[in-house]
Amino acid sequence: MIRIELYRAFHGKELKAAMLLGGLLGVAHFVLEVIPLVKHIFDGYNPYIASSVVRNVSEGWMGGMINAEINIYQMVVFLLITIPYAASYYTDRKSGILKNIAIRGEKSIYMVAKSIAVFITAGVSAVFPLLLNLMLTMTVLPVITYDWYQLPNYKAVFMKLAIKNVVVYSLVYMILIFVFAGLIAGLALSLSLYANNRFVVMSLPFLICVVSGRLVTYASNPIIRGLAIQKVFYVPQSSPTTLVSLCILFVVLVICGYVHFIVRGVKMDVL
C-alpha cells in the first residue's frame, strides 16, 4: 500500500506543477540576484583587510540574506506544500476509492500509507526551490566562511553550525523545513476528513498558518513569538524562532495532523 501511494504521489501532475512553480522561483533568484553579483564579485574586496571577503554563496543564494524571492517563498511555500498530494484523501473519498479499500479491510494501512506519501511529497516540494537555488549558486560563487555581517541573527537556530560550515548549515536547515512542511500537510489531511471542497482542503492550512502567525508576532515572550510558523521557512532568520517553539509546534502539528487523521479516519464510516 505504501508503494502504491508513493507511486501515485510522485507520478501525479500536481507534484510536478508544485516543483515547477518552486523551481521557477529558485531560478528567478539565480538570474536576477546571483548572476549580477558574479559580475561584481571583487567589489569592495581588499586582500589586506582580514574582514574583507569576495561575493560568496552565503551572501548570494536565496536563503543567505534577505531578498525579494525568499520573502515570496515564505508565503507561497504553504501552497507548494498542499498542492502535490495533500488533497488526495478528499479525491479518493469522492471518487469511491476509499469505499473499495474499506470493504477489503485495509483502511488502517491505507491511512498510514497516505500519511507517509503526503509527508514526503510536501517536504520535497518545499525544499526543492531552495536546494536548486543553492546548487546553482555554488556553480558560480565560492563557498567561504560566513563574514560577520552575513551571519544570521545571533539567536538563530543552528547559529554555531552556520559559523563553521555554511553549506552544512543550509542543508540542515532544509531538513528542518522538510519536516515542518510535511507536518503542515498533515493539517490538510485532517481537514479532508470533513471538507466538501478540494479548494478548502488546499487553502485552509495556508490561512491557519498565516493568521496564527500574525496573532503571535507581537508577543513579548520569544517562545510565543517563535510559534509563528512562517519563521521556520524564513532561512535568513532575521527574526528567528526558538528550539522550544519548534518542539511545541512539532507536537501540536503531529497531534492535530497525522494522529487525528489516522485515529479519526479509521473510525469514520465511508460506506
- pLDDT reading at 270 higher than 70: no
Q: Which residue has the higher pLDDT, 96 or 151?
A: 96
* b/e 15-44 (16+ beta carbons within 10 angstroms → b): beebbebbeebbbbbbeebbeebeeeeeee
Mean pLDDT value across the chain:
84
pLDDT in tens, 2-33: 888 888 889 889 999 999 999 999 999 999 98
Q: Which three cell numbers stand for residue 121?
A: 511529497
Amino acid 259: pLDDT: 93
pTM higher than 0.85? yes
CA atoms within 13 A on the CB side of 251: 5
* b/e 142-157 (16+ beta carbons within 10 angstroms → b): eeeebeeebebeeebb
pLDDT in tens, 147-173: 544 555 556 777 777 777 778 888 888
| DSSP string for 46-97 | -TTSTT-----HHHHSTTTS--HHHHHHHHHHHHHHHTTTTTHHHHHHHHTH
- pLDDT reading at 212 higher than 80: yes
Whether 187 contacts 180, CB under 8 Å: no
Amino acid 75: pLDDT: 87
At 191, phi and psi to the nearest 5? -65, -30
Amino acid at residue number 49: I
How far apart, in Å, are the Cα atoms of 201 and each of 55, 98, 255?
Answer: 43, 17, 18
Taking CA 8 as the corner, what is the angle to CA 7 and CA 13, rounded to the nearest 5 degrees?
115
Q: What is the mean pLDDT of residues 198-202?
A: 85
**Whole-angstrom Cα distance, residue 263 to residue 271?**
17
Closest by alpha carbon to 15, among 81, 76, 73? 81
Amino acid 1: pLDDT: 78
| DSSP string for 90-120 | HHHHHHTHHHHHHHTT-HHHHHHHHHHHHHH
Share of the chain above pLDDT 70, in %: 91
Closest by alpha carbon to 22, among 62, 66, 64? 62
Amino acid 45: pLDDT: 66
pLDDT in tens, 30-70: 999 888 888 877 776 666 665 666 777 877 888 877 788 88
For residue 239, give the 3-state DSSP assignment: coil
**Whole-angstrom Cα distance, residue 16 to residue 183?**
20
As a dihedral over the C-alpha atoms of residue 210, residue 211, residue 214, residue 216, rounded to 10 degrees, the angle is: -110
Closest by alpha carbon to 17, among 60, 75, 76, 71? 76
Amino acid 180: pLDDT: 94
- Find where cell 509546534 sits: 249
pLDDT band at 140 (very low <50, low <70, confident <90, very high): confident
pLDDT band at 123 (very low <50, low <70, confident <90, very high): very high
